[in-house]
Structure 1
C-alpha cells in the first residue's frame, strides 16, 4: 500500500482524470473528510469537478433520501459528465512544459 501511494504521489497516475467527492454522514460535519480527500486527490493529479456532502443516517428512509437528494445527485452527475465531455482536466506533459518555456524565453 505504501509503495502504491508513493508512486501516485511522485508520478501522478491520475493526471487528467476527473473526480467528484461525495461524503455521507449520519450526524456531525463531514467538512474534514471533504478537505482531506480533496487534498489527496489533487496531489494524485485529479481535476476536481465538484464536491458534495449528504446527511443520511439509520433513521432516514430510502424514499425520504430519494425525495430530498435526487435533484442534488442529478446536478452532481451533470457536473461530472460535462467536465469529462468538455475535457476540463488538463493532461500535464513534461516535454510540453519544456517546449512552452523555450518558446517563452525566445519571445523575450
Structure 2
C-alpha cells in the first residue's frame, strides 16, 4: 500500500543540526529496500501560489492559504505492506527529530 509522508516544519522542535541529518542514509535505505517511489523538498510557502476557481474566474493568491508557522517542507511516497511499516519508516526519517512527519495512506481511484 502506498503512503505519503508529508515532511512538516515545526518551530517548537529541537534546533536543526545538519550534522545529525542523515537523509542520504535514510533515502539509500528505502531505495535499497525497494519501497521508495518518489520524494523531494519543497520551496518555502513564500514561493507558493494558491489557485482558486469560483464562478468561472481563476483567482491567484501569493503564498499559502492560511497563516501558519508550520509548513510542508517536503514529501516522500513509499510503498509498504501496512501502516506499521509506514510508521517505522516515518520514525526513521531525520525530520521526525527536527520537525514532524505526517503519514497519509493513498486513496486510489476506483476503476
| TM score, norm. by length of structure 1 | 0.23
| TM score, norm. by length of structure 2 | 0.23
| Structure having the higher Rg | 1
Higher RCO, Cα 8 Å, sep 6+: 2
